[in-house]
Chain A
Amino acid sequence: MKTEELSIEKIMRELHRVIDPEYGYSIVDLGLIYGVEVDEKQVSIEFTLTHEGCPYGPMIEDSIFFVLKDLTDKTIFPRLVWEPAWDPLLMSDEIKLEMGFPV
């Protein structure tokens, strides 16, 4: 039984460890995490991928589970959604600066 307090900050910190292989940046910095919800039974992570043809969906889903599983006994539930469609402007300012997008 995990007695540590589970906070959104802790979850986000762990999610930073999940890297999108096509960009080489964390899915958090890329703006791919749309929502994090914690209730009694589960931790629900709503996320998307950079494009519909992205072949790394299952891998990213597995990684989300992997980085969070030791934080809590609750069920880890990654949910892939396609709406709203991801946009490069959702990336962090530092990444946008690096790639030449408006900050």
Chain B
Amino acid sequence: MALVIKDLKVKIEDKEILKGVDLTIGKGEIHALMGPNGSGKSTLANVLMGHPDYEVTGGSIHLDGEDITEMEPHQRSLLGLFLAFQYPVEITGVTVGKFLKRITELRRKKKLGKFLDELYENFDFLDIDRKFINRYLNEGFSGGEKKRMEILQFLLLQPHYALLDETDSGLDIDALKIVAKGVNKLTGPNMGVLIITHYQRILDYIKPHKVHVMFQGKIVKTGESELVKELEQKGYEFITGVKVEEPVLSR
């Protein structure tokens, strides 16, 4: 049982972004995907979830043996695929409480007569003020609050495969620890996780089994968690052979 990405090629508006990505995320595995800006990491996450702006020009995506390459995002979601957005969208008029209840009901395929207690439990676990239940989804939320709201959805949906797109960016160390706490609560033999990150910090709290480096639309190196230390010391250059104009990995 795995999420299998085979030779995936993707373009947007005539520009080829992914040039043949091969990646297999098995249940019970945590993979980290790193790489400089523009390497295609977020594109991969969005394409896996079915973002309509991108066009798959080659290769395939299979989830537990089922070909999802052409499926709509909601179909992939109902099969157990989850994406924590890098930039969560604000939806005015929809309260957090109503939204969370509805998505949970869809995922579990049944109406829930009682939900408030479960909701409060998860809010408290992630240290989110209960007042947020009545706020409109992500409206006026800080970056950290938006990221925690994504993890809250993750906890309620209990997906089979989770894609966390730069869930750590913009977070201070306390918020980061809470995100890790949330992720670690559910990871286990029944879940495959792909953590897309630019900085290695979150990997101090969520231990990956495999680390991949993406560059110019392909995965160019795969290693164990020691690779993260190497990247921290040497920067991306030692893999890509190209000097990248950005700060070294750790913050």
Residues of chain A at the chain B interface (Cβ within 8 Å): 93-94, 97-103
| Interface secondary structure of B, over-half rule | helix
Beyond the given A97-B97, A100-B95, please list 13 additional residue pairs across the A-B interface where CB-CB is below 8 A.
Answer: A93-B116, A94-B115, A97-B101, A97-B115, A97-B119, A97-B133, A99-B98, A100-B94, A100-B97, A100-B98, A102-B134, A103-B97, A103-B133
Q: B residues bordering A, Cβ < 8 Å?
A: 94-95, 97-98, 101, 113-116, 119, 133-134
Is B98 touching A98 in the complex (CB atoms < 8 A)? yes
Residues in A with CB closer than 8 Å to B114 are 94
For residue A103, which residues in chain B have a CB less than 8 angstroms away from its CB? 97, 116, 133-134
Determine if B98 and A97 form an interchain contact, defined as CB atoms under 8 angstroms apart.
yes
A-B contact count (CB 8 A): 26
In the assembled complex, how far is the CB of residue B228 from the closest CB belonging to chain A, in whole angstroms?
42
Interface of A, helix, strand, loop or mixed by DSSP: helix
Q: Which residues of B contact A102 (CB under 8 A)?
A: 95, 134
**With A103-B133, A103-B134 as contacts: A94 and B94 at CB distance below 8 Å:** no
- Could you say which residues of chain B place their CB within 8 Å of the CB of A101? 95
B141 shortest CB reach to chain A, Å:
17
Q: Which residues of B are found within 8 Å of A100, using beta-carbon distances?
A: 94-95, 97-98
Residues of A contacting B115 in the complex (Cβ-Cβ under 8 angstroms) = 94, 97
Closest 6 CB pairs of A and B: A100-B98, A102-B134, A100-B95, A97-B97, A93-B116, A94-B116
Residue in A93, A97, A98, A101 with the greatest tally of chain B CB atoms within 10 Å = A97
Residues of B within 8 A of A93 (CB): 116
Complex Cα distance, B120 from A93, in Å, reads 12
Across-interface contacts of B134 in A (CB, < 8 A): 102-103
Residues of A close to B133: CB separation below 8 A: 97, 103
How far is A55 from B101 in the complex, measured between Cα atoms in Å? 31
- A99: chain B residues at CB < 8 Å are 98
Chain A neighbourhood of B97, CB < 8 A: 97, 100, 103
A99 CA / B116 CA spacing, docked (Å)? 13
